[in-house]
Amino acid sequence: MALLRPDRYFTRVSLIDPQADLLDRGIRFVLLDMDNTLLPRDTHEVPSDILAWLADLSKCGVGALILSNNWHESPFEWGRRLGLPVVAKACKPLPIAYGRALRTLGATRAETVCIGDQLMTDIWGGHFAGFASYLVDPLTTVDLKHTLVLRKLERKIIGGMPPEK
């Protein structure tokens, strides 16, 4: 189960401090899940605190990329709007897309963390590919049917692990 245990767990991506939680730990790059990590599945608008957090990352010199399993055009649309590179159709937890993400950013595994709202894709996939992986709570309870089924199982796996903030 170690592959499914997040290295750190936050309630919201914008609570990850670019300096204390990333740079001070030698992390200079983040691979960000999109749906329900950056972009709520109900409003389809990136919340203002997350826009500010992304701007903060950039100001601090942390490189970011959207790594999404989404097969539609929206990761690319949001990549353009947010000024972030995108690797979509990633098939997380399979490791195939992670190398492309690293090459796009010019990053190494050791200085990169994967961040997302699902244990079965973001955390398992990140660990399987050799990355530290941070879990965040989903931005909304609205999600794809199969994701909602998986979430029940994920709740059991994560058990009583409390978020840090």
**What residues have CB less than 8 Å from 163, skipping those under 6 apart?**
9, 10, 11, 137
Least distance in angstroms from the C-beta of 75 to Mg ion: 11
**Residue pair 8/135 in contact by the 8 Å Cβ criterion:** yes
CB of 18 or CB of 40, closer to Mg ion: 40
Report 26-55 residues binding Mg ion (CB under 5 A).
Answer: 33, 35-36
Least distance in angstroms from the C-beta of 68 to Mg ion: 8
CB of 5 or CB of 151, closer to Mg ion: 151
Say how far apart CA 144 and CA 140 lie, in whole Å: 11
Least distance in angstroms from the C-beta of 54 to Mg ion: 16
**Residue pair 26/128 in contact by the 8 Å Cβ criterion:** no
CB of 68 or CB of 112, closer to Mg ion: 68
Report 78-137 residues binding Mg ion (CB under 5 A).
Answer: 117
Least distance in angstroms from the C-beta of 97 to Mg ion: 14
Check binding of 154 to Mg ion (CB under 5 A): no
Per rule CB under 5 A, count of chain residues that contact Mg ion: 4
> What kind and span of H or E run contains 86?
strand 86-87
**What residues have CB less than 8 Å from 12, skipping those under 6 apart?**
49, 50, 136, 137, 139
Binding site for Mg ion (CB under 5 A): 33, 35-36, 117
